[in-house]
Chains A and B, each alone.
Chain A
Amino acid sequence: GQQVMQIPQYQHVQEGEDFTTYCNSSTTLSNIQWYKQRPGGHPVFLIQLVKSGEVKKQKRLTFQFGEAKKNSSLHITATQTTDVGTYFCAGPAGGGNKLTFGTGTQLKVEL
């Protein structure tokens, strides 16, 4: 079945450093979604990418969808303590009725 892997699994950065997480799918994706889960919280939708090579920005966050639509990345510029959490990518499975979530990247930001 479809597999969605994320690397790295964990990342510790100093506040102000940049951070990137990568998402790789075993199959071509029609779209990809990104979610953020704060410690002790629940996943919250961040963004959806649909087009090959698409790049979207949300303030310090930059999301990219690969040309082959099998990978994606999330880059955070100048991390802040509010960025702490686990970031998940998710791709559609089963004809659009459900999502396959990546394994997640846990980000810790130290002052």
Chain B
Amino acid sequence: NAGVTQTPKFRVLKTGQSMTLLCAQDMNHEYMYWYRQDPGMGLRLIHYSVGEGTTAKGEVPDGYNVSRLKKQNFLLGLESAAPSQTSVYFCASQIDAGWYEQYFGPGTRLTVT
């Protein structure tokens, strides 16, 4: 039982390049989330999904797109990376609606030069 995994662990992009971050969970959780973490700003929600085929915007969605084609996977895309997107990205999952804990992946450290 791997929990929540993220691919890749590290990535360096040049401004304007695109990439996709993959999140996978093997806990059969309905809800999945993408956060970014910047120094002094805590965790900010980018996009989330309440089930296969659904996505919704979070607090800071601009410049990102997501897809949830399969229940276990949640993809985060950057179409044209900008230096402001340099951050650590965390994926998380939650079993279902309600006040349940979130399980986080190990994170992806992205640098955009």
Contact = CB atoms under 8 A, between A and B. Distances in A.
Q: Indicate the member of A42, A100, A104 with the most B CB atoms within 10 Å.
A: A42
Contacts of B41: 103
B107 A42 contact: yes
Nearest to A33: B101
Q: What 8 A-B pairs are tightest by C-beta distance, nearest first?
A: A45-B101, A42-B104, A101-B43, A103-B42, A101-B42, A31-B99, A43-B104, A104-B42
A88 B43 contact: yes
8 contacts: A42-B90, A42-B106, A45-B103, A50-B99, A97-B97, A99-B45, A100-B45, A103-B41
A48 B33 contact: no
Given A97-B31, A97-B50, A98-B58, A45 B42 contact: no
Interface string B12-50: 000000000000000000010101000011111100101
A43 to B, nearest CB: 5
Interface residues of B, number: 26
Interface of A: 1, 6, 9, 30-31, 33, 41-45, 48, 50, 88, 92, 96-104
B10 to A, nearest CB: 12
